[in-house]
Amino acid sequence: MTDLPQIVDSHCHLDFPDFDGELPEVIARARAAGVTRMVTICTRLRNEPTVRAIAETYPEVFYAAGTHPMSAAEEPLATLDELIALATHPKFVGIGETGLDYHYTADSAEVQKTSLRTHIEAAQETGLPLIIHARAADEDMAAILTEGMKAKPFACVMHCYSSGPDLARTAIDLGFYLSMSGIATFPRSQEVRDIFAAAPVERILVETDSPYLAPPPHRGKRNEPAYTALTAKIGADVYGLPFEDFARITTENFDRLFAKAASWSQA
């Protein structure tokens, strides 16, 4: 164990080939950095057994699953029944990631919207938080999330937030959370830091999105859960808080949103 402030990596991809053969060491380094829990995300349902096995192997690891918007046109769409069935696993703690990405895959916008609405319905039915990927689709994303909340409330995190201030305000107004990734640590990301600074710290999570988006001094290299602490130190600066306080608050936020993970860890 470590005496460092405890923190949670709320979004990583431990099944990706970047970590092949190294997971025990990667998770040990996370522990040593004070990262006591991780949520590994399945982006294609056909990979769910592999992701589930990682969560079953490591006590610190939980998982979520869905169809990533950039894969929506090439993967069988997740069904409501499939997602509800997955949610019965004790370490399955979120729905997604899902969402809209018009930066690379605008041509599949309609199928992405269909997929997103199915995931929203699964979050509504299971009570698990929705995990949203949003890129270059702010207006449609705000409209669909608002529409869903009017139909039946659900919990949600806007993962790796780097969209505009209007979508951030909509998310906060709906009661959702924003997750801070390594993007917020990049020198040219002042606009992203300003968006976070305008949001209540009680609605902030931290993540790596590893193996992507490593914060300095590892930028350009493989990211890993241990580096959550580096992003959180920038987050503490954004809010003018001691690192220990920011780590505690974001961990409390995680426990409130991912209540199933919080309950499991206390069992």
Q: What is the pLDDT of residues 68-86, one digit of tens each?
A: 999 999 999 999 999 999 9
What is the rounded average pLDDT for all residues in the chain?
Answer: 96
Using CA atoms, how far apart are residues 167 and 138, in angstroms rounded to an integer? 6
**pLDDT at residue 262 in the model:** 96
Q: For 47-58, how does the pLDDT look when each residue is reduced to its tens digit (9 = 90+)?
A: 999 999 999 999
Measured CA to CA, the distance from residue 259 to residue 129 in angstroms comes to: 9
How many other β-carbons are positioned within 10 Å of the β-carbon of residue 191?
10
pTM here is 0.96
Q: With the C-alpha atoms ordered 253, 254, 260, 265, is the resulting torsion angle positive or negative?
A: negative
Q: Is residue 2 over pLDDT 80?
A: no
Residues 172-200: tens digit of each pLDDT: 999 999 999 999 999 999 999 999 999 99
**Mean pLDDT of all residues in 1-25:** 92
- Is the CB of residue 58 less than 8 Å from the CB of residue 27? yes
| Model pLDDT for residues 134-170, shown as the tens digit of each residue | 999 999 999 999 999 999 999 999 999 999 999 999 9
265 pLDDT higher than 90: no
pLDDT digit string (tens) for 218-236?
999 999 999 999 999 999 9
Residue 11 has pLDDT above 50, yes or no: yes
According to CATH, the topology of domain 7-265 is TIM Barrel (3.20.20)
Give dist(CA 135, CA 54) in Å, integer: 28
Give CA–CA dist 159/141, Å, rounded: 13
Q: How confident is the model over 23-46, as a mean pLDDT?
A: 97
**CA–CA distance, 47 with 43 (Å, rounded to integer):** 8
Q: Which pLDDT does position 1 carry in this prediction?
A: 44
How far, CA to CA in Å, does 212 sit from each of 176, 182, 221?
A: 24, 9, 8
The answer, yes or no, to whether residue 212 has pLDDT greater than 60, is: yes
Share of the chain above pLDDT 70, in %: 98
Contact 6, 244 (CB under 8 A): no
Supply the pLDDT for residue 3: 78
